[in-house]
Amino acid sequence: MPRTASEIVFEATQHHVNQMFDKAALSAADPNVEKDDYSMQAAGRLQAALNLGSFDEANSRLHNDFQAQHDSWQRLGKLYDIAGAAVDQFGTPGGAAKDVMDLGKEYIIGPEPKEGKPANIGIPGTFPTQQHMAEVLAQSNAGDTSQLKDYFRDGKLQPPPLHDGTDAYRDYHNRVVAYLNSIGETGSINDLLQSYWDTYTGSIYGAT
């Protein structure tokens, strides 16, 4: 099925957000450059615009709040499938070591809206972005890549194990966080993540 113009724009925007994550992550690993806080702030503004835009575009077209929410959810689902880079809608902004739930499509874009429920625009958690940044940095052989032993193969960070009550998911999460903590000066990646979350949440709250 041909993609709509909006879907193409949203896909390109998400790709640009990911490029900004990449640029910021690599800046933290390079002792010769300043941490690229600007890129993380720009990523936060763009991600907020993408998430808000997917709702606004649908609301304008359908003139019905519930239908707009549902269409927005479907659109974000398509973007997740296309770009694989949506953010979690249920986490807490801030520190990179926050507890996280099992990752999956529903966890990242939220459950299907039900009539009378608010739109799926919320505060993202940290771990999906940490995974993305860890993969980019490991591809550049930055930091202590031994922290990702068994998880980084053929240039790709493997998906997390199921959060099934065993230690497998916890170990995966802790290894990714430990690897990011080995990048640059102490707290470099956490500072960049905090800048992203602050900008994202400020943009969402300012527009809703």
Backbone angles phi, psi at 104, to 5 degrees: 180, 170
Per the domain annotation, does 174 fall within a domain?
no
Could you give the dihedral angle defined by the CA atoms of residues 136, 141, 145 and 149, in that order, rounded to the nearest 10 degrees?
80
Q: Structural domain tally of the chain?
A: 1
For residue 98, the model assigns a pLDDT of 31
Per the domain annotation, does 23 fall within a domain?
yes
Per the domain annotation, does 160 fall within a domain?
no
For residue 44, the model assigns a pLDDT of 87
Per the domain annotation, does 139 fall within a domain?
no
Helix axes 37-62, 65-83, angle to 10 degrees: 140
Per the domain annotation, does 84 fall within a domain?
yes
Per the domain annotation, does 148 fall within a domain?
no
Residue 195: both structure tokens together: 């800048």
Per the domain annotation, does 110 fall within a domain?
yes
pLDDT by residue for the chain (208 residues), tens only, comes to 555 655 666 677 788 888 999 999 999 999 898 999 999 998 888 888 777 765 555 555 545 666 777 777 777 776 656 544 434 443 444 333 233 323 455 655 567 766 543 455 555 667 889 999 999 999 999 999 999 998 999 999 999 988 877 899 999 999 999 999 999 999 999 999 999 988 988 887 776 5
Residue ranges making up the domain that contains 16 = 5-125+185-207
Q: How far apart are CA 12 and CA 72, in angstroms?
A: 17
Per the domain annotation, does 112 fall within a domain?
yes
